[in-house]
Amino acid sequence: MLSLIGIVIVIIGFVLRINPLLVVTIAGLATGMASGLGPLEVVAAFGKAFITSRYVAIVWLVLPVIGLLEHAGLKERARAVVSGLRAATTSRVLLAYFAIRQITAALGLTSLGGHPQMVRPLIAPMAEGAAENQYGELPQSVRYKIRANAAAVDNIALFFGEDIFIAIGSILLIKGFLDQNGIHVEPTQLAIRANAAAVDNIALFFGEDIFIAIGSILLIKGFLDQNGIHVEPTQLAIWAIPTAICAFVIHCARLLLLDRQLRADLAREPEKA
Amino acid sequence: MIILEHIYWLSGLMFAGVAIVNWRDRSNPRRFNNTAFWGVYAVTFLVGSRLPDLANGFLIIAMVLVASIRGLGQGKQESATREEREASARRWGNKLFIPALTIPLITVLGTVLFKRIAINGMPVVDLKQVTVISLAIATIVALVTGMIMLRPPLLAPIREARRLLDAVGWAAVLPQMLAALGALFAIAGVGNVVSGLAQRWIPLDNPFVVVATYAVGMAVFTMIMGNAFAAFPVMTAGIGLPLIVQKFGGDPAIMAAIGMLSGFCGTLMTPMAANFNIVPTALLELPDENAVIKVQIPTALMLLGANILLMNFLVFRH
């Protein structure tokens, strides 16, 4: 029971709005102490865990180039491009990004998005630009709302796209086999070719890097294996599809309503000012 | 061969540059705090792999104290006025997108190509980390492209990185800190205690109640841990396998797939998933640090409901 102290500290800290870095550090140290480590051992364990998690921070390497481009007017340009499209609304811009992000994630291309490299410099300015196009200068509160929605789209589309990757990979694999069957060759030759193609595809689709995209599937498989239950990654990925469809339907329906909400917000705004 | 350590050195150099730019910026009243914070962070990247664990631990505690006791500040000067940026945007037009889109393009190309290229039988990059290394290489290619195209002063990129990093502030380090917290939770066996509590307190003799408990448990425990991967083994060993699979004969593949996605619903609702939910609010300069979570909660709750129904209908069909 004592080992739950870290959770209690985190909850209290977030409620009291104490600096989260401090809260998390204290929670970590307290949890380590509660599990019977000595003070120095806890500090060492924390240091080790922090150092092995450094890969999380590599995404910040994009900041110099993104900052440079922003200085040169990248966001303003992204806004201008959208304002040239009369059909563009905030809802439609975000819907399009949602669809692209979910589909590319399902194809294993999870690195085609992200907050520092896509949402801040491109997607959020485009969504804002579409609204400016329709309503003119926007109050700050409406801008904030649009930006928060842009960030949410990136998250939701990623989470509920990436898990079905193996299913799509294996469909492509099967299609590869069928394509090969259409060509008339000797059965043995066919088998060799099919095998070569399969190996190639597996290397391409199931390579180590892609395992990051489908880390959760492998974690599930590894855990179930340890418990004596053997499932195929494909099965897991196929059963992720219904939820992926629900995510698409639910969030896109909400995005469609966003334009109307923004209009209502803007109608209310002048009264305040 | 390029390995992760080289990328860490590159990151360390960038953070060191940010620290130096901060040190020289008199418009920031807390410039020495910023210098100390990013400087120590740079040290953990440059030599962290060779320092003893204890030294790293104390460095991190020092960073946390600098950030939380006196706090970090921000420089006052804007790098360009809005008019300047608009004029520049008109001048460069769509060419500005080229370096920006280089990043995802090269990252994806790198992940595919590096696996096929070998020099003297040695791969060019560490294949276990190929995505992360490709991202780093892509940012360098994009930066060089941008420098050649725009011809800014040589130190402009590091000054711009400083501007953005200080806008994000300590939140930039929070995801890594939470990953470390997760490791300590695992050492202390927090998960087993939680699943023990769930089994003791909730009536689990009706299949629908069990399915709902498992899915909601995944979401809630993910909210606490900030990570569905940490919640999955705990909830599945505690509730999923013994009750859904063994007692009620449910299909383990369906249970596990939808269970993990229920955890992702939790990820959408928690500040503990800082890199998805807190860092973007800082990056987008939103005053409310929960703004992204608030947008996501309705979708997350509806999707969690959908997951419970889906699992209930699908998992017992055989």
Measured between CB atoms, which of B89, B135, B194 is closest to A80? B89
Top mean-pLDDT range of A46-60, A159-173, A204-218, B146-160: B146-160
Average pLDDT of the segment spanning A180-188: 38
pTM equals 0.80
pLDDT tens digit string along A202-250? 333 333 333 334 567 767 777 787 778 887 777 777 888 899 999 999 9
- Measured in whole angstroms, the distance separating CA B160 from the mean position of its chain's CA atoms is 21
Contact A64, B191 (CB under 8 A): no
Per-residue pLDDT at A167: 59
Shared domain check, A158 and A248:
yes
- Record: contact B161-A63, CB cut-off 8 A: yes
- Record: contact B156-A21, CB cut-off 8 A: no
Contact B152, A70 (CB under 8 A): no
Chain B residue at shortest CA distance from A253: B299
Average pLDDT of the segment spanning A184-209: 37
Shared domain check, A215 and A103:
no
Range of the domain at A148: 58-163+244-272
Average pLDDT of the segment spanning A78-104: 89
Identify which of A117, A118, A88 has the alpha carbon closest to the alpha carbon of residue A100: A118
Does some domain include residue B127?
yes
Does some domain include residue B65?
no
Range of the domain at B198: 188-315
Domain-ending residue, one of B152, B178, B210: B152
Interface of A with B in 210-269 (CB under 8 A): 210, 212, 215-216, 219-220, 223-224, 227, 229, 231-232, 235-240, 242-243, 246-247, 250-251, 254
Shared domain check, A182 and A96:
no
**Cβ contacts of A71 on chain B, cutoff 8 Å:** 79-80, 85, 88, 152, 156, 160
B106/chain A closest Cα distance in angstroms = 10
- The whole-angstrom separation of Cα A258 and Cα A250 is 13
Shared domain check, A158 and A249:
yes
Contact B195, B233 (CB under 8 A): no
- The whole-angstrom separation of Cα B19 and Cα B24 is 9
Contact B291, B264 (CB under 8 A): no
Shared domain check, A249 and A136:
yes
- Record: contact A109-B233, CB cut-off 8 A: no
Residues of chain B with pLDDT under 70: 77-79, 318
Shared domain check, B282 and B221:
yes
Helix (H) / strand (E) containing A164: none
Per-residue pLDDT at A172: 53
Measured between CB atoms, which of B131, B258, B268 is closest to A111? B131
Does some domain include residue B70?
no
State the average pLDDT for chain A.
Answer: 78
The count of structural domains within chain B is: 2
Is the pLDDT at A199 greater than 60? The verdict is: no
Measured between CB atoms, which of A40, A77, A209 is closest to B93? A77
Contact B274, A20 (CB under 8 A): yes
If pLDDT is split at 50, 70 and 90, which confidence band does A169 have? Answer: low
**Least confident range of A30-44, A147-161, A196-210:** A196-210
- Record: contact B89-A76, CB cut-off 8 A: yes
Contact A45, B94 (CB under 8 A): no
Shared domain check, A119 and A62:
yes
**Whole-complex ipTM:** 0.85
Contact B303, A157 (CB under 8 A): no
User: B74 — alpha (psi -120 to 50), left (phi > 0) or beta?
Assistant: beta
Per-residue pLDDT at B203: 72
Per-residue pLDDT at B54: 96
Shared domain check, B139 and B203:
no
Contact A94, A150 (CB under 8 A): yes
Contact A227, B253 (CB under 8 A): no
State how beta strands B122-123 and B118-119 pair. Answer: antiparallel
DSSP chain B: -B-HHHHHHHHHHHHHHHHHHHHT-TT-TTHHHHHHHHHHHHHHHHTTTTS-HHHHHHHHHHHHHIIIII--------SS-HHHHHHHHHHHGGGGHHHHHHHHHHHHHHHHHTTT-EETTEESB-GGGHHHHHHHHHHHHHHHHHHHHH---TTHHHHHHHHHHHHHGGGGTHHHHHHHHHHHHHHHTHHHHHHHHHHHHS---SHHHHHHHHHHHHHHHHHHHT-HHHHHHHHIIIIIIIIIIIIT---HHHHHHHHHHHHHHHHTT-TTSHHHHTHHHHHTT-S-TTHHHHHHHHHHHHHHHHHHHHHHHHHT--
- The whole-angstrom separation of Cα B240 and Cα B255 is 7
Per-residue pLDDT at A175: 46
Does some domain include residue B176?
no
Is the pLDDT at A2 greater than 90? The verdict is: no
Q: Largest alpha-carbon pair distance within chain B? A: 70
Q: B119: which strand partners?
A: B122
Residue to mutate among A243, A255, A258, A265, with most B CBs inside 10 A, is A243
Shared domain check, B223 and B125:
no
Residue to mutate among A69, A211, A229, A254, with most B CBs inside 10 A, is A69
Contact B75, B36 (CB under 8 A): no
Average pLDDT of the segment spanning A103-110: 76
Give me the phi and psi of B284, to 5 degrees please: -95, 5
% of chain A beyond a pLDDT of 90: 32
Sequence-separated (6 or more) residues with CB below 8 Å from residue B164: A63, A66, A67, A70, A116, B283
Residue B284: Cβ within 10 Å count? 21
Residue to mutate among A159, A160, A256, A258, with most B CBs inside 10 A, is A159
Sequence-separated (6 or more) residues with CB below 8 Å from residue B120: none
Per-residue pLDDT at A177: 45
Is the pLDDT at A194 greater than 80? The verdict is: no
Shared domain check, B220 and B295:
yes
A205/chain B closest Cα distance in angstroms = 9
Sequence-separated (6 or more) residues with CB below 8 Å from residue A33: A39, A42
- Measured in whole angstroms, the distance separating CA B308 from the mean position of its chain's CA atoms is 27
- Record: contact A111-B107, CB cut-off 8 A: yes
Contact B107, A107 (CB under 8 A): no
Shared domain check, A252 and A156:
yes
For A32, A111, A205, the CA distances from B82, given in Å and listed in that order, are 50, 30, 44
Residue to mutate among A29, A155, A230, with most B CBs inside 10 A, is A155
Chain A residue at shortest CA distance from B127: A208
Shared domain check, B142 and B91:
yes
Amino acid sitting at position B175: P
Is the pLDDT at A257 greater than 60? The verdict is: yes
Per-residue pLDDT at A189: 38
**More confident call, A15 vs A156:** A156
- Record: contact A65-B103, CB cut-off 8 A: yes
- Record: contact A59-B271, CB cut-off 8 A: no
Contact A247, B303 (CB under 8 A): yes
Is the pLDDT at A190 greater than 50? The verdict is: no
Specify the 3-state DSSP secondary structure of A1.
coil
Residue A168: Cβ within 10 Å count? 17
Top mean-pLDDT range of A99-108, A180-189, A220-229: A99-108
- Record: contact A240-B257, CB cut-off 8 A: yes
Written as six digits, the tokens of B283 are 């990056």
Identify which of B241, B301, B39, B102 has the alpha carbon closest to the alpha carbon of residue A69: B102
**Cβ contacts of B132 on chain A, cutoff 8 Å:** 55, 58
**Least confident range of A161-165, A166-170, B163-167:** A166-170
Residue found by looking up tokens 């193996």 in the block: A166
Shared domain check, A141 and A71:
yes
Per-residue pLDDT at A196: 40
Is the pLDDT at A17 greater than 70? The verdict is: yes
The count of structural domains within chain A is: 3
| Upper half-sphere CA count for residue B304 (Cβ side, 13 Å) | 24
**Cβ contacts of A9 on chain B, cutoff 8 Å:** none
Shared domain check, A79 and A24:
no
Does some domain include residue B166?
no
